Amino acid sequence: MDDIPLSVLIGAFVVLLLLSAFFSTSETSMMAVNRYRLKHLVRDGHRGARLASRLLEKTDRLLGVILLGNNLVNTAVATLGTVITVRLLGSNEIALSVATLSVTFSILIFSEVTPKVIGATYSERIATSVSYVLTPLLRLFYPVVWFVNLFVQALLRLMGLKPLNSGTTQLGMDELRTLVLEAGGFIPEKHQSVLLNIFDLENSTVDDVMTPRHQIEAIDLNDPLDHILHQLSTCYHTRLPVYEGTLDNIIGILHVRKVLHVTQNEEFTLEELRKIIRDPYFIPSGTPLLAQIQHFQQNQRRIGLVVDEYGELLGMVSMEDILEEIVGEFTTHSPAQSGSFLQQPDGSWVVDGGVLLRDLNRKLGLVFPLSGPKTLNGLILEHLEDIPESGTSLKIGGHPLEILQTQDRAVKTVRIFPAEDKQ
């Protein structure tokens, strides 16, 4: 090597640094590339993305060929750097120290840190490009990589580790939620809200969205026929529960449109009404909303009655109630339900005590706890451990409340003051 000109050695040293930078950039970009974006490019027919995806299917082989090349080049850089330093400064201890520091600095700056920062910043663009070089390199050095991986696999088994291929990685609900939140700049706000609401269905049950028992609009067959017809003509729902005597004796579900069809063709009687009543569909309390959507589909139902473990009626839930949890409220509510939230000139809100806490938090941006009672009335009764009188004031979740009306052992109307008003 003494006969080789110094300029040639320096040129070779620079080339080796660039090769080392290539392997460092390749390693970082391949490991940092967005796998989902890569799969999208593969579906679009991007050849570089297809090659990169195949390389990532066997991470051990990919890292093997990259690190093999990187270590060989870095070793050559260290050797060549020492030769150049000896040529310039001689073969003494100072020269060797300078060679070590110079080579370390050069590799660190030009072949490690800078290339890896670039690789992480432009991971997709670089990964799809370097895959054209890494693919033939892997084929060329596959025997060496395979031999090295034999020792790697043996060592991993001794350590009790089992490496997973990148293709088997799965995301849980929490990871998916984080992915959607971080992609906020690429997903329209409405779409992001729908996706997050779908994730929330995993932890929600029919008890969270059902219409409570005392708010169920139903038909009593013991009422006069004229009263039933008037109720049907003025109701705001397409399906109504039908009972005899009390709500604990529900005999079925009535589709209002079928009643109108019968009354247009023949004289309407209670017997005709009974013929078009469909058997009731009962839902156990605590059923997750995601599971209930599937049950509605399987049973071809759109409305069900929620019962507890003793068979007592707790409320009613419909497919519309669940869909509202995903896409937001529809405009088909009755005036009674629409008037549950009345804003006052001072910024406070007058709400019905039977309103669901989920609706209250969503509409007014509050943070009432959802782990216990489902309604505002239940939350107040649990907090006070007593039935309050009108005019009672309290604070829950940082929000001052004033009881405006109590009736039949329940809180009927509540005024909620903005949290900013607290002192």
Alpha-carbon distances, residue 180 vs 140, 196, 258, 296, 365 (angstroms): 41, 8, 44, 28, 21
- Give the helix/strand (H/E) hosting 252: strand 250-255
Q: Rounded to an integer, what distance in angstroms lies between the CA atom of residue 379 and that of residue 15?
A: 73
Residues 250 and 269 in one domain: yes
Q: Rounded to an integer, what distance in angstroms lies between the CA atom of residue 387 and that of residue 37?
A: 57
| Confidence (pLDDT) at 122 | 92
Residues 30 and 48 in one domain: yes
Residues 253 and 302 in one domain: yes
| Confidence (pLDDT) at 333 | 54
| Confidence (pLDDT) at 317 | 93
Q: Which residues of the chain have pLDDT under 70?
A: 1-3, 163-171, 184-185, 260-267, 330-340, 420-423
| Confidence (pLDDT) at 334 | 52
| Confidence (pLDDT) at 85 | 81
When divided into structural domains, the chain yields a total of 3
Indicate whether 193 belongs to any domain: no
Indicate whether 182 belongs to any domain: no
Indicate whether 77 belongs to any domain: yes
| Confidence (pLDDT) at 236 | 78
Against a cut of 0.75, is the pTM above it?
Answer: no
Residues 10 and 158 in one domain: yes
Indicate whether 196 belongs to any domain: no
Indicate whether 188 belongs to any domain: no
Determine if residue 342 is left, alpha or beta; phi over 0 gives left, psi from -120 to 50 gives alpha, anything else beta: beta
Tokens of 30: 């391949």
| Confidence (pLDDT) at 96 | 79
Indicate whether 311 belongs to any domain: yes
Residues 256 and 347 in one domain: no
- Give the residue from 279, 323, 272, 271 showing the smallest Cα distance to 301: 279
Whole domain around residue 322: which residue ranges? 204-335
3-state secondary structure 158-212: HCCCCCCCHHHCCCCHHHHHHHHHHCCCCCCHHHHHHHHHHHHHHHCEHHHHCEE
Indicate whether 249 belongs to any domain: yes
| Continuous H helices in 317-369 | 319-327, 335-338, 357-364
| Confidence (pLDDT) at 282 | 94
Which of residues 300, 335, 370 is at a domain's end? Answer: 335
Cβ contacts of 77-84, under 8 Å, gap ≥ 24 = 77/13, 77/16, 77/17, 77/20, 77/103, 77/106, 77/107, 77/111, 78/103, 78/107, 80/9, 80/12, 80/13, 80/16, 81/13, 81/106, 83/1, 83/9, 84/6, 84/9, 84/10, 84/13
3-state secondary structure 34-77: CHHHHHHHHHCCCHHHHHHHHHHHCHHHHHHHHHHHHHHHHHHH
Strand pairing report for 303-307 and 282-284:
parallel
Indicate whether 187 belongs to any domain: no
Residues 248 and 361 in one domain: no
Residues 350 and 311 in one domain: no
Residues 244 and 348 in one domain: no
Residues 234 and 363 in one domain: no
